Amino acid sequence: MSGRIALIDYGAGNLHSVANALKAAGATSIDITSNAAVVACADRIVLPGVGAYGACASALRAVRGMTEALNVRVLGGGVPFLGICVGMQLMAEAGEEFGTHAGLGWIRGKVRPLTPADPTAKVPHMGWNDVVPAVPHPLIEPGEAYFLHSFGFESDRKGEGIVATTEHGGQVTAAIGRDNMLGVQFHPEKSQRYGLALLERFLAWRP
């Protein structure tokens, strides 16, 4: 039983496609919400994100009480949390896109421009690519997922916090996490069976 899922609406995500994917994975109670009080009572929280890091961080902070509710419910309450694309990136300490912008600070590291060593690897990193587990994690399995991003997470502590990687002219972070939180750089809602299976595992997760 997944309980009540808060899908956070801060003007920066594919809300309906993510909601539809969660329903296809078995979710029965999804609140698409910009209400911090709803998030503070949720049993699971999903933070999507599309666009520039700074704009997304500002938009999230502009929702009254939202970052406080996230900290209370995710860090304090231990509810399962899933960040998607920029929603994953916001878990970091900061992002360096059009200046440096503070993130939620849940995972130590920063989001920096992708700089492939292979000149044939284009930016943005777009399309299907392998997801390779870096450490055992109950939600991450090997497979292929759909990516679309120009910036990536870099750990400041020798890979700490990195759960999975992919290859795009060098190693790129595909997922980060610790404790009850996971962030994925790829889009589960666009990743067909692989993405649906990940969402099914998230709905059943008891960290």
Q: Please pick, among 101, 125, 168, 187, the residue that the annotation labels catalytic.
A: 187
- What does residue 81 show for φ and ψ, rounded to 5 degrees? -130, 135
Q: Is 101 a catalytic residue?
A: no
Which residue in 56, 85, 97, 149 is the catalytic one?
Answer: 85
3-state secondary structure of 194: helix
Q: What is the DSSP string of 27-83?
A: ---EEEE--HHHHTT-SEEEE---S-HHHHHHHHHHSTTHHHHHIIIIIIT---EEE
Three-state DSSP at 178 gives: strand
Which residue among 97, 149, 168, 189 is the active-site one?
189
56 is catalytic: no
Among 153, 175, 34, 149, CA closest to 103:
153
Is 154 among the residues known to form the active site?
A: no
Q: Tell me the catalytic residues.
A: 85, 187, 189
